[in-house]
Structure 1
Amino acid sequence: MASQRIRPEEGRRMSACRPGALHTAFNMLALSWIIISELLLSAHCLKDLKIFVPEAVIMGNAATLSCQYDLEQAALYAVRWYFGQEEFYRFVPREAKPTFVFAVAGINVDLTNSDATSVTLKGVTRELSGTYQCEVSEDAPLFHTEIRSAHMQVIELPKGDPVLQVDKKVIGINDNFKAVCTVGPSYPPANITWTVNGREIHKTPLQRITLDAFDGSNTYSSLEMFPNSQALQSFFATNYQHSVKVQCGVSILHVFHKNVEVRIGLNRAPATTISPNLLGLEGSKRYANGDPDNSALTGASQRCCICCEALGAISLAIFTLTVAQL
């Protein structure tokens, strides 16, 4: 059978059709991708992932960490919890035993109070202060995964109550005043604020406030007020006030608050002045010539000596007459 030869005109027509066919195929592929993307975007999937971790927990107490999310009717594949970079809890609903606990130093999971949205830690220690992460993954076909993190602080409370000491129980208008507040060791160190009659005292040149705080040791704060300080002046501004309440407030984050106070009396009597006559300062005016011994106390001594000599002469005369009669 003889082969058919393609005429040059037909070859040119076939070559001209090939670019149009490629263009059409590209358009169909692009349209298919757009349709698939729209279907994926409109499908139900994981969203609104939020993590809730206590900002501060007292050492020895339990801590519940939760992870809230919306799957929009999609299936859940797994929820994982991490301390730092170490996974310590996993929930996989498709497994026969959905909960898994992994050994991480210091972490003790309470399985009876842990599920797909929360995990509870028992007897937390200071070493568990740090960053926690919740990772949620939806099931096939997308396996969409999101992760959130939050920080938790484990605090150690002081074992005793704060102690407030003052240097005076009663103060006058010209007196200095000092108070010291002491708090036992805590983690983190306690914060101390000062109030007088409910009004917070701020640091100024005439109202000195110090704070010494170190991990593992007592925390000290002192308040020192000088006569011309605003606080002391306000104490004596009214006549009906006879005492003031000095208070130190102790707090550790938002978990621990403790106040200790003492009442200080106000002495409104004017400052005592001593008359110069009582000190003998006027005596120096009675003597002339700038004699350095002409002080009031020296003049009085000289007069006493003269009296003593006269008394001795009289006593000697009486004694002589008595002997002569005998």
Structure 2
Amino acid sequence: MLRTLLMVLCVVAASQQLEIPKFSVPEAVEKGSDAELICEHDGSEKVSIVKWFWNQDGAEKPVQIYQRAFGGEKKIIIPKTEPLLNITLIEEDKHNLALWDLQPEHSGTFECQVEEEANFMERRIASPMVVYSIGDGPKLSFEGEEDVLVVCEAAGVAPEPEITITYGDTTLNTTLLEGPVDGLYNVSTNATLARQDIEGVEVSCKLSFDNEAIASELLQVADMYHSADGAERTTAVWALAALVTILHLQLM
């Protein structure tokens, strides 16, 4: 009898579980852009508290950024960070937040928590968001004749990037980083190559991120190296690579 009663109680508890049927946090947002955080519970009248938390990348613990205890006012809690995390409500009758003028330091995990205090029930959903910057670059330059110094560089980039020089079947990826300063990195790599190895060969400079939310090869500049005997040192060809991935993520 006791076993049957326990089974019934478990079934009732399972049937009363809180649900958050609509939850979304953008995976990737460009520096200076806005984002919407969506958290809509199942409409249960027993829901007593809704909260949002932000766990900034590198922080020891999350901080609360929103709370609504039913019967009380909605409360936006601005964390004491630099730069300031700008937060507003999207709609007064819901618990969805708008973040604006986002910066790389705002990257982190955002979590929505819904509680039924009377039944000691709680539901949490979290998702990471990265704020990226493509900065200035990548730029490719050549210096010298017989021994040619090839430099590939970019400035004002986030998150932590990688940069590579490729010619023929060879790829060089010794990345030199400066920063972060205000969440941004300057990045470069260079190599001294023999003229005969790159004469008339396409040399490319690629910027990439070890983050699946951002396109792996964001920008590419390719040049054909010619010696001083030619009319021009380089013929530059700029190409956008994989920006469709980012646009797709922003529209999801």
TM norm. shorter chain > 0.5? yes
Normalised TM-score (structure 2): 0.64
Q: State the Cα deviation string for residues 241-273 of structure 1 (Å, max 9, x = none).
A: x93321101235516822222212489xxxxxx
Structure 1 counterpart of 2:177, which letter? A
**Closer, same or farther: CA 214–200 of 1 in aligned 2, 3 Å:** farther
- Which of 25, 28, 50 in structure 2 is aligned with 1:79? 50
Query: What's the secondary structure of 1:34's corresponding residue?
Result: helix
- Which of 51, 60, 64 in structure 1 is aligned with 2:36? 64
The residue aligned with 2:139 is 163
**Closer, same or farther: CA 86–266 of 1 in aligned 2, 3 Å:** closer
The residue aligned with 1:219 is 187
Structure exhibiting the larger radius of gyration computed from Cα positions: 1
Query: What's the secondary structure of 2:6's corresponding residue?
Result: helix
Q: Are 1:210 and 2:174 matched, yes or no? A: yes
Structure 2 counterpart of 1:251, which letter? S
Cα separation, 1, equivalents of 2:108 and 2:14: 38
The residue aligned with 1:262 is 223
Q: State the Cα deviation string for residues 223-257 of structure 1 (Å, max 9, x = none).
A: 344589xxx4xx7xxxxxx9332110123551682
5 Å matches for 1:211-250? 211-215=175-179, 216=181, 218-226=186-194, 232=197, 243-250=200-207
Q: State the Cα deviation string for residues 7-39 of structure 1 (Å, max 9, x = none).
A: xxxxxxxxxxxxxxxxxxxx5xx2673365155
Structure 2 counterpart of 1:104, which letter? P
Quick check: 1:194–1:200 contact (8 Å CA) kept in 2? no
What is the aligned length?
Answer: 211
Cα separation, 2, equivalents of 1:38 and 1:218: 56
Quick check: 1:168–1:264 contact (8 Å CA) kept in 2? no
**Closer, same or farther: CA 222–89 of 1 in aligned 2, 3 Å:** same
Quick check: 1:109–1:120 contact (8 Å CA) kept in 2? yes
Quick check: 1:181–1:220 contact (8 Å CA) kept in 2? yes
**Closer, same or farther: CA 155–133 of 1 in aligned 2, 3 Å:** same
Normalised TM-score (structure 1): 0.51
5 Å matches for 1:149-160? 149-158=126-135, 160=136
Cα separation, 2, equivalents of 1:127 and 1:143: 35
- Which of 105, 122, 147 in structure 1 is aligned with 2:124? 147
Question: Looking at both structures, which has the greater relative contact order when contacts are Cα pairs under 8 Å and sequence separation is at least 6?
Answer: 2
**Closer, same or farther: CA 200–114 of 1 in aligned 2, 3 Å:** farther
Cα separation, 2, equivalents of 1:259 and 1:49: 40
Q: Give the CA deviation at 1:144.
A: 1.5
Structure 2 counterpart of 1:161, which letter? G
Cα separation, 1, equivalents of 2:98 and 2:154: 31
The residue aligned with 2:103 is 125
The residue aligned with 2:85 is 107
Cα separation, 2, equivalents of 1:200 and 1:132: 42
Quick check: 1:45–1:138 contact (8 Å CA) kept in 2? no
Q: Give the CA deviation at 1:74.
A: 7.1
Q: Give the CA deviation at 1:145.
A: 0.2
Give the number of the structure whose residues are more often helix, by fraction. Answer: 1
Query: What's the secondary structure of 1:202's corresponding residue?
Result: strand
Identity %: 21
5 Å matches for 1:20-39? 30=2, 33-34=5-6, 36-39=8-11
Cα separation, 1, equivalents of 2:100 and 2:141: 39
Segments of structure 2 that go 5 or more residues without pairing to the other structure are 56-61, 229-252
Query: What's the secondary structure of 2:166's corresponding residue?
Result: strand
